[in-house]
Amino acid sequence: MVLTCIGWGFALAIIPAALVRVLIEHYQPPPVVRVAAWTMVGAIFLTPLAAGVVAMLTR
């Protein structure tokens, strides 16, 4: 269950991560915007992982 959720996390985060990288390289935003963008990608990745851990613990 956790491995499936890790896979979903990668699958859901790969496109936003690519978009964030391209946009950061192209527009050169201030550091605060870069941190916010990568935090969003991290949250997209970690949400399915957390769901898998909760599902495993409550089983």
| Residue 52 Cα distances to 5, 13, 39, 42, angstroms | 5, 16, 20, 16
What 33-42 contacts at long range (C-beta under 8 Å, 24+ apart), as own/partner pairs, is 40/16, 41/13, 41/16, 41/17, 42/13
Q: The pTM is what?
A: 0.80
pLDDT score, position 4: 87
Span 4-24, pLDDT tens digits: 888 888 899 999 999 999 999
pLDDT score, position 1: 74
Q: For the chain, give every domain's residue range.
A: 2-57
pLDDT at 2 over 80: no
Span 21-40, pLDDT tens digits: 999 999 999 999 999 999 99
pLDDT score, position 9: 87
